Chain A
Amino acid sequence: MNIFVCVKQVPDTETKITPSGDGTFIETSSIKWIMNPYDEFAVEQALLLKAANAGSTVTVLRVGSTQDTEALRTALAMGADEAILVEGQDNLDSYMIAKSLKGAIEKSGKNPDILFTGKQAIDDDCLQVPQLLAQMIDMPSVSVVVGFESEGGKVTLKREVEGGALEVYEVNTPVVVACNKGINTPRYASLPGIMKAKKKPLQNLSLADVGVSGDDRRVKYSNFQLPPEKPPGKKFDAMDEGKQAEIVAEVVQLLRNEAKVI
Chain B
Amino acid sequence: MINFELSQEQKEIHTMAMKFARQEMIPKASEYDQKSEMPLEILEKAWSLGLVNTCIPTEFGGTGFSTMDSMIITEALAYGCLGMNTALMANDLALLPIVIGGDDVQKKKFLTPFTESYKIAAFCLTEPGNGSDAGGIKTSIKDGGDHWLINGQKMWITNAGYADLFTLYGTIDPELKHKGISAVVIEKGTEGIEIGAAEKKMGHCCSDTRSVTFKDVKIPKENMLGAPGDGWKIAMKTLDHSRPMVAASAVGGAQCSLDYATQYSKERVQFNKPIAAHQAIQFMLADMATKIEAARLLVYKSAWLIDQGLSNTKIASMAKAFASDSFMQVATDAVQIYGGYGYSKEYPVEKLMRDAKLIQIYEGTSQIQRLVIAKEVLK
B64 and A194 within 8 A (CB): no
- Which of B47-55, B94-102, B229-237, B364-372 lies at the binding interface? B47-55
A8 partner residues in chain B, CB cutoff 8 A? none
With a CB–CB cut-off of 8 A, which chain A residues contact B17? Answer: 191
A190 an interface residue at 8 Å Cβ cutoff? yes
How many residues of B sit at the interface, in one of the four size bands?
Answer: 10 to 19
- Rounded to whole Å, the gap between the CB of B57 and the closest CB of chain A is 14
B50 lies within 8 A of A192 (CB): yes
Q: Contact at A191–B63, with CB atoms within 8 Å?
A: yes
Interface centre among B17, B20, B63, B65 (most CB of A within 10 A): B63
A195 contacts B64, CB within 8 Å? yes
Is the Cβ of A189 less than 8 Å from the Cβ of B9? Answer: no
B260 to chain A, nearest CB (A): 15
Contacts A188-B20, A189-B16, A191-B63 given; does A198 touch B9 at CB 8 Å: yes
- B164-198 Cβ-contact flags toward A at 8 Å (1 or 0): 00000000000000000000000000000000000
Cβ-based interface call for B163 (8 A): no
Bound form: Cα–Cα A188–B17 in Å: 10
**Interface 0/1 of B1-39, CB less than 8 Å to A:** 000000011001101110110000000000000000000
B64 lies within 8 A of A188 (CB) = no
Contact between B12 and A73, CB atoms less than 8 A apart:
yes
Scan residues 306-333 of chain B and give those whose CB is less than 8 A from a CB of chain A. Answer: none
A238 to chain B, nearest CB (A): 28
- Is the Cβ of A189 less than 8 Å from the Cβ of B12? yes
List which B209-256 residues lie within 8 A (CB) of chain A: none
Q: Are B63 and A192 in contact (CB under 8 A)?
A: yes
Cα A74 to Cα B14 in complex, Å, equals 12
In the complex formed, the residue of A with least CB distance to B54 is A191
CB contacts (< 8 Å) of A77 on chain B: these are 12, 16
Q: Closest CB-CB distance, A76 to chain B, in whole Å?
A: 10
Do residues B48 and A194 form an inter-chain contact, with CB atoms below 8 A?
Answer: no
A188 near B19: Cβ-Cβ < 8 Å: yes
Q: Is B13 a contact partner of A194 (Cβ separation < 8 A)?
A: yes
From A70, A190, A197, A198, give the contact of B49 (CB < 8 A). A190
Q: Known interface pairs A73-B12, A77-B12. Does A190 touch B64 (Cβ–Cβ under 8 Å)?
A: no
Q: State A198–B13 Cα separation when bound (angstroms).
A: 12
Contact of B63 among A73, A74, A195 (CB under 8 A): A195
Please name 9 pairs of A and B residues whose Cβ atoms are closer than 8 Å in the assembled complex, sorted by A. Answer: A70-B15, A77-B16, A190-B49, A190-B50, A191-B49, A191-B50, A191-B73, A192-B50, A194-B13
Chain B residues at the A interface, C-beta cutoff of 8 Å: 8-9, 12-13, 15-17, 19-20, 48-51, 63-65, 73
